[in-house]
Structure 1
Amino acid sequence: MTLTKRLFIVNFAGACIAAWAWWLGYVGFVYSHDISRISYVITALFAASIAAIFAGRTAHIERSEVWLVTLGLIGNVIGFIIALQHIDTGSLGSAEGVQKVAASLLAGMGVAFCSTLVGAVAALWISVNGWVVGAAK
């Protein structure tokens, strides 16, 4: 079986899993809760990496994996910054103040966890493609 056919099979399977996650609402949830929008940057890098692999350029695979995970972790840090930036301990004495702190924490955690998830899944997907390319050599 040719490398292109192997890559097609692996990426078709991944696309089916992604479509299933989208149908269940997970994909929309992840992108809507990442208010930093770093998940879109991760997705663009992932798409460019996959396109390059299908074009026969594979030297970037290991770097792409690292960049995807790193961008996910940067999103994690951004999320924690968002979560902590509006905490005013003086406002915790009122119900309204507690609600504002909780909303800020939830927004930040959405960025942190969702961007990390997108980066990790994209890196894993690229890694599987790298394994297919390496097995074909």
Structure 2
Amino acid sequence: MTLPYRLFILNFAGLCFVIWAAWLGYVQFVFSHDVSHISYLITAVFVASMAGVFLGRTAHLERVEVWLVTLGLIGNVVGFIIALQNIDTGSLGTAEGVQKVAASLLAGMGVAFCSTLVGAVAALWTSINAWMVMK
């Protein structure tokens, strides 16, 4: 089987997986819980990279893998910053203060975990495409 057919089958299977995850609500969950929206940037870089693959340009794949993981890790750091920026230990004595701290922690953790997940999945997908192209 030639390379274009293998790439098509691989990426079609990956797309089916994403559609299945969206049908179950996981894709929407990930993007709605990333209040920094870095997951959209990661997705845009990934889609542009895959478009390049199907246009016959593959020299960028190794760099894009690193970029996707790095963007996911940046999202992780941003998430922790968001989680910790509004913590006021003096307000923990009231129910409203505890709720505010909990909301900040949850928003930050959403960014941290969701952006890291998107970056890791996109990097893995890109890595598999790079492996097939180099094979």
TM-score computed with the length of structure 2 as normaliser: 0.99
User: What's the offset of the Cα at 1:131?
Assistant: 1.0
Q: Which residue of 1 aligns with 2:6?
A: 6
Unaligned runs of 5+ in 2: none
The 1-side partners of 2:82 and 2:12 are apart by 36
Counterpart in the other structure of 1:132: 132
Q: Deviations over 1:73-124 (max 9, x none)?
A: 0000000000000000000011110010000000000000000000000000
2:36 alignment counterpart: 36
Q: Distance in 2 between matches of 1:125 and 1:21?
A: 15
Compute the RMSD of aligned alpha carbons. 0.5
Paired letter, 2:104: S
Alignment of 1:1-137 (within 5 A): 1-135=1-135
Partner of 2:36, secondary structure, is: coil
- Secondary structure of 2:30's aligned partner: helix
Amino acid at match of 2:33: H
The count of residues paired between Structure 1 and Structure 2 equals 135
User: Partners in 2 of 1:131 and 1:23 — Cα distance?
Assistant: 29
**How many Å separate the matches in 2 of 1:23 and 1:132?**
28
- Structure 1 residue runs without a partner (length 5+): none
